[in-house]
Amino acid sequence: MMNTTQTATIALAKTVSSKQVIEVNNLRKGFGNQEVLKDISLQLFDGENLVVLGKSGSGKSVLIKCIVRLLNIDAGTINVLGEDVSKLNTDGLGELRKKIGFLFQSGALYDSMTVKQNLEFPLRRIKKSLSHKEIDEKVKDVLENVGLFDALDKMPSQLSGGMRKRISLARTIIVDPMIMLYDEPTTGLDPATSDEISLLINDIQKRYKTSSIIITHDIECARTTANRIIILNEGVVYQEGNLEMFEKSTDTLIKSFFI
Amino acid sequence: MMKKFTLVPKLTPKLQAAKIQTIKLSEKTFVKIEKANNFFTDVANAFLFISRTIKETFSRDFEFRELLRQSYQIGYKSLALISVTGFIMGLVLTIQSRPSLITFGALSKLPGMVAISLIREIGPVITALICAGKIGSGMGAELGSMKVSEQIDAMEVSSTNPIKFLIVTRVLAATLMIPLLILYADALGILGSWAGANIKGDITFVLFYSQAFSHFTFIDFLPAVVKSFFFGSVIGFVGCYKGYSAGRGTESVGIAANSAVVLSSLLVIIVDLIAVQITDML
C-alpha cells in the first residue's frame, strides 16, 4: 500500500525502451476557422512518461483526445500500438481503447454511482471473465494503491478534489492499461495534493509498467514525472528534450515555463 | 512602361448611405440564413441520433440492469406525483362537468362521460405533459451535466457505448413506464371522479364503476394505449437528445433541461393531434 504521507520521492522509472507505442505524424486539427494543431509529430516510447507542456489553449488536451479518437483529426496519422487509429472500425477502436487509460481533467466520476460502482464499471465491461470475488479484490487492491480504501461506499459528491482525482486514477488503472493519458492531472489541486498525484503517476509507471503522456502546465508535476518533455506552441512542437536541457535553456518561451 | 489606371468611383453621400444600408441588410439576411441552417442541422442531427439509438437497441450486449434501474427511476419514483395529479384530474373534471349535465338532465351520464374523457384524452395527455416536465427535464439535465463533466467521454474511452448504456435504456424505460403511469393515473382519476360525484351526490363505487364502463368499448381504450407509447418515446428521445447534445458550459445544462420540457410537451400535443385524426378515421 502506498503511504501518501511519505516525503521521500518515488523515483521515475529509468528503463525506457526504444519501442514506440504511440506515433503521431503531421497531425492537424481545427474547429471551424480556428486551427488548434497545425503540424504535430511526436513519439511515445515504451515505459516512458512524456510530459507535454504548453500555454492554455495550445491544444494539449485536443492532442490526447485525438489519440483516443474522442475527436476526429483533419490530417495526419496517429498510430497506437501499431494500429492507425483513424482507420479502425467501432469494434477495433473499442479493443484498442481497452489498452488505454484516460484521466480526465475533472476526474469524470459517474455521479450516480458509488466509488465501488465507479471502479467496477469499466472492469465488468473490459474484463468480463472475472468473477464477483475477483472484481471485489481488484477494487480493494487498487483503492489501497491510491490510499483511499475507506472511500468504497462514498458518492463522488462526498469526496474532496484530491480524493476524486485519486479515485479517477484508480478507475483508470484498474483495467491494467498499457498506455496512460493524463489530462492536467494536478489542475485545481493544492501543492501538497498535486505532489501526491505526481508521485502516484510515477508509482503507476513502475507498478503497472505503463507508458504515459502527461498534459500539464504544472512545472512541478513535469519535474517529478517527466522522462522526456515536449513543449507545444502555436499548434506545433516547439522543443523536445529532457528536464535538464530545458532548465538550462536560454530560450525565452522555455524559460517562462521553468522559472 | 505602361501605367495602369484603376477607376475607383467616388461615392456620393447618397451612394455611401445606400452602401451601408445594403451591408446591414446583407448581415441581417446572413444571420437569418445561419439560423435556418442551424435549425435544419439540428433536425438532421436529431434524426441521426434517433436512428443510432434504434440501431443500438437491437445490437448485442443489451444493458438490462441499467434498463431496470431507469425503469425504477422513471416509473416508481413518479408514482407519488402521478397519484396526486390523477386523482385531482378526475375530481376536477367531475365537479366542473356536473352542473352542465344537470342542465341537460343527463346527470346519470356523468360517470361514463368522465371515464371516456379521462381514458381517451385527458388522462394520457395531462399525465404525459407532467412526465415531460419531470422525466424529460431530469434526463436533459442529467445527461447535460454528464456531458459537461466529461462523464460521457469517460464512458466512451472505457469501451462502453454511451448510446447503448445511457440513451437506449432511458428511451426504452420511458416508452414502457409512461403508458403504465398513464393507466395508473386513469385509474386514480376514476377514483377521484367517484369522490367528486359524492361531494354533492351519493353513489357507491360499484354503481359508479358499472355506469362509467357500461358504454366503454375497445375502440375507446386501444388508441389511448397506443398513443401513450408514442408519448413515452417522444419524451425519452427529446430528453436524451437535448441532454446528449448539450454544449460545454454549465449554462447549457439549464438550456438542455428547459428545451427538453418545452419540445417534448409540444410534441406530445402534436402526436395527440395526429392520433385523434387517425382514431377518427377508424
Q: What is the ipTM of this complex?
A: 0.87
Which domains does chain A carry? 20-257 (3.40.50.300)
Compute the average pLDDT of residues B86-90. 96
Q: How far is A126 from chain B (nearest CA, A)?
A: 7
pLDDT band at B35 (very low <50, low <70, confident <90, very high): confident
CA B166 to chain centre: 18
Query: Sign of torsion, CA A233 A238 A244 A250?
Result: negative
Instruction: Please give the Cα distance from B179 to B187 (Å, whole number).
Output: 12
* Contact of B144 with B242, CB cutoff 8 Å: yes
Instruction: Please give the Cα distance from A214 to A195 (Å, whole number).
Output: 14
Chain A positions touching B170 (Cβ under 8 A) are none
Q: Which of B158, B161, B170, B253 to mutate to test the interface with A (most CBs of A within 10 A)?
A: B158
Q: What is the pLDDT of residue B97?
A: 93
* Contact of B179 with B230, CB cutoff 8 Å: no
* Contact of A149 with A143, CB cutoff 8 Å: yes
Kindly give the residue spans of alpha helices, DSSP state H, lying in chain B. Answer: 13-57, 64-74, 79-103, 110-117, 123-131, 137-148, 151-157, 162, 169-200, 205-212, 218-244, 250-281
Q: What is the pLDDT of residue A9?
A: 44
What element of type H or E holds A53? strand A49-54
Q: What is the pLDDT of residue A253?
A: 85
How many contacts, defined by CB atoms under 8 Å, are there between A and B?
47
Mean pLDDT of chain A: 89
DSSP state of A107: -
Chain B positions touching A65 (Cβ under 8 A) are 153
Q: What percent of chain B has pLDDT over 90?
A: 70
Q: Which of A88, A110, A128, A164 to mutate to test the interface with B (most CBs of B within 10 A)?
A: A110
Compute the average pLDDT of residues B4-10. 59
| Structure confidence by residue, pLDDT tens digits, A100-156 | 999 999 889 999 999 999 999 999 988 888 899 999 999 999 998 888 888 899 999
Packing angle, helices B250-281 and B137-148, rounded to 10: 140
Mean pLDDT of chain B: 91
pLDDT band at B4 (very low <50, low <70, confident <90, very high): low
Q: What is the pLDDT of residue B220?
A: 85
In the structure grid, which three cell numbers stand for residue A68, read together?
Answer: 483516443
Chain A positions touching B154 (Cβ under 8 A) are 102, 104, 108, 110
What are the residue boundaries of the structural domains of chain B, listed by start? 64-281
* Exposure string for B59-90, b = 16+ CB within 10 A, e = fewer: eeeebeebbeebbebbbeebeebbbebbbebb
Q: What is the pLDDT of residue A2?
A: 42
pLDDT band at A7 (very low <50, low <70, confident <90, very high): very low
Query: Sign of torsion, CA B12 B15 B20 B23?
Result: negative
Q: What is the pLDDT of residue A134?
A: 93
Compute the average pLDDT of residues B253-257. 93
Q: Check B154 against A102: CB less than 8 A apart.
A: yes
Q: Check A102 against B151: CB less than 8 A apart.
A: no
Q: What is the pLDDT of residue B169?
A: 97
Instruction: Please give the Cα distance from A138 to A150 (Å, whole number).
Output: 15
pLDDT(B87) > 70:
yes
Q: What is the pLDDT of residue B27?
A: 80
pLDDT(A5) > 50:
no
Compute the average pLDDT of residues A59-78. 94
pLDDT band at B7 (very low <50, low <70, confident <90, very high): low
pLDDT(A6) > 50:
no
| Structure confidence by residue, pLDDT tens digits, B132-183 | 999 999 999 999 999 999 999 999 999 899 999 999 999 999 999 999 999 9
- In B130-159, the residues whose Cβ lies within 8 Å of chain A are 142, 145-146, 149-151, 153-159
Q: Which of B64, B139, B157 to mutate to test the interface with A (most CBs of A within 10 A)?
A: B157
Compute the average pLDDT of residues A48-55. 93
Instruction: Please give the Cα distance from A149 to A167 (Å, whole number).
Output: 10
| Radius of gyration of the CA atoms of chain A, in A | 18
In the structure grid, which three cell numbers stand for residue B80, read together?
Answer: 407519488
Instruction: Please give the Cα distance from A87 to B174 (Å, whole number).
Output: 36
pLDDT(A8) > 50:
no
Q: What is the pLDDT of residue A11?
A: 52
Nearest CA in chain A to B149: A108
Instruction: Please give the Cα distance from A33 to B143 (Å, whole number).
Output: 29
In this structure, of A96-110, B22-36, B59-73, the range with the lowest mean pLDDT score is: B22-36
